[in-house]
């Protein structure tokens, strides 16, 4: 554990995911949802993970606090968590479910995409939030109620009384998602996992929620792993952006680097396909095909099958990470010295 920390020494990580392999059992074979994902989340940063449906980003997010279904099998790798109270870190992937229960809600908070389905429809919102506050902070009901009002007003909810009294389905989408955030923030969490929290909202509400997220990060000293498929959302709030494809991270870097200088063909086509960049009168560029089914996946770079001009080696061997800068890493053969002419340092895995 210490050696790992020395490696990432200058970085002060709160979460280290190291070569995670995760399979789902299925009738037709095992679905390899995560095929060697490595990631470091630094304390106090917002890391956005982008990818299309089926690339494994939700699976990765749920794998951290162990929320995947019973069919998920961890085939290899570790998840290390470094809360402030434990300087040696906790290996989340090795904990039993009883031990994980102590971490969920109190140190790691999770917010999901569908806020309408994420709250119990038969109970008033206020009651659910109060119950969680009482559980996490050990307060009495009266104390929990006043803390709830504080929490809701820090989330910019104007009328806490009304919102507490209503069941979740009678609230608006934005209010509901904030209540889900409140539920996650009820304990004194350090890591917030947000799975597409803005996807189900309309654009104006999305922006407000993102600004709120930044405010909350400062106020509660959070580190956030944000999953989205919207490049705009990522560009707006993230410090670093990671691109996932077919169970692997293919490119990672600071927001500026990714937005201004995407190097992986997948990232490039994602940016090219943005409607904002389309020219009137021309055809909208798209990525043909669909996400691969990860049962017995072939070797090599899986994006090559959808790439309009792939390299021959993409079908044979998976590329390593080439580091364009200390923060920008890309896994593509196009950055090999023989292809691009430049000599970039090579990493076998992400650090």
List interacting residues with other proteins (CB under 8 A).
Answer: 27-29, 65, 67, 69-71, 98, 101-106, 109-110, 112, 114, 117-123, 131-132, 135-136, 167, 169-170, 180, 183-184, 186-187, 292-293, 295-296, 298, 305, 309-313, 315-317, 320, 323, 333, 336, 338-339, 345-348
Whichever of 235 and 347 has its CB closer to other proteins, that residue is 347
User: What angle do helix axes 173-185 and 203-220 make, rounded to 10 degrees?
Assistant: 20
Q: How far is the CB of 101 from other proteins (least distance, A)?
A: 5
Q: Which is nearer to other proteins, 14 or 236 (CB)?
A: 14
Whole-number Å distance between alpha carbons of 102 and 92: 11
Sequence-separated (6 or more) residues with CB below 8 Å from residue 54: 290, 291
Residue pointed to by tokens 């554990």: 1
Q: Cβ 312 to other proteins, closest distance in Å?
A: 4
Q: Shortest Cβ distance from residue 351 to other proteins (Å)?
A: 10
Complex with other proteins: residue 142 or 309, whichever CB lies closer: 309
Give least dist CB 337 to other proteins, A. 9
| Smallest separation (angstroms) from other proteins to the CB of 166 | 9
Shortest Cβ distance from residue 94 to other proteins (Å)?
A: 18
CA 113, 238, 41, 306: dihedral to nearest 10 degrees? 70
Q: Are 55 and 291 in contact (CB under 8 A)?
A: yes
| Tokens standing for residue 258 | 């990714």
Closest of 9, 4, 25, 50 to residue 243, by C-alpha: 50
Q: Which residues have CB under 8 Å from 38's CB, separation 6+?
A: 17, 18, 19, 20, 77, 249, 349, 350, 351
């Amino acid at each position: 554990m210490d050696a790992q920390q020395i490696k990432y020494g200058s970085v002060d990580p709160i979460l280290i995911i190291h070569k995670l392999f995760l399979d789902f059992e299925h009738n037709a074979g095992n679905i390899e949802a995560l095929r060697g994902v490595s990631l470091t989340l630094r304390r106090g940063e917002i890391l956005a993970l982008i990818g299309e449906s089926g690339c494994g980003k939700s699976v990765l997010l749920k794998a951290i606090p162990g929320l995947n279904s019973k069919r998920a099998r961890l085939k290899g790798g570790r998840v290390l968590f470094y809360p402030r109270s434990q300087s040696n870190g906790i290996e989340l992937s090795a904990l039993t479910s009883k031990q994980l229960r102590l971490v969920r809600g109190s140190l790691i908070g999770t917010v999901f995409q569908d806020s309408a389905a994420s709250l119990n429809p038969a109970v008033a919102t206020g009651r659910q939030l109060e119950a969680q506050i009482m559980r996490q902070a050990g307060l009495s009901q009266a104390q929990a109620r006043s803390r709830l009002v504080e929490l809701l007003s820090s989330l910019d909810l104007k009328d806490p009384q009304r919102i507490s009294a209503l069941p979740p389905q009678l609230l608006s989408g934005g209010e509901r998602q904030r209540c889900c955030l409140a539920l996650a923030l009820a304990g004194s969490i350090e890591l917030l996992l947000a799975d597409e929290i803005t996807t189900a909202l309309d654009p104006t509400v999305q922006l407000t929620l993102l600004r709120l997220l930044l405010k909350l990060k400062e106020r509660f000293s959070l580190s956030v792993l944000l999953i989205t498929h919207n490049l705009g959302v990522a560009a707006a709030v993230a410090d670093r952006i990671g691109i996932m494809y077919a169970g692997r991270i293919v490119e990672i870097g600071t927001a500026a680097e990714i937005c201004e200088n995407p190097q992986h063909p997948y990232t490039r086509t994602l940016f090219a396909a943005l409607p904002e960049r389309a020219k009137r009168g021309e055809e909208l560029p798209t990525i043909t095909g669909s996400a691969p089914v990860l049962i017995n996946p072939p070797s090599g770079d899986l994006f090559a099958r959808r790439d309009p001009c792939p390299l021959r080696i993409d079908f044979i061997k998976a590329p390593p990470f080439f580091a364009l800068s200390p923060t920008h890493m890309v896994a593509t053969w196009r950055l090999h010295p023989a292809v691009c002419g430049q000599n970039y340092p090579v990493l076998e895995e992400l650090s």
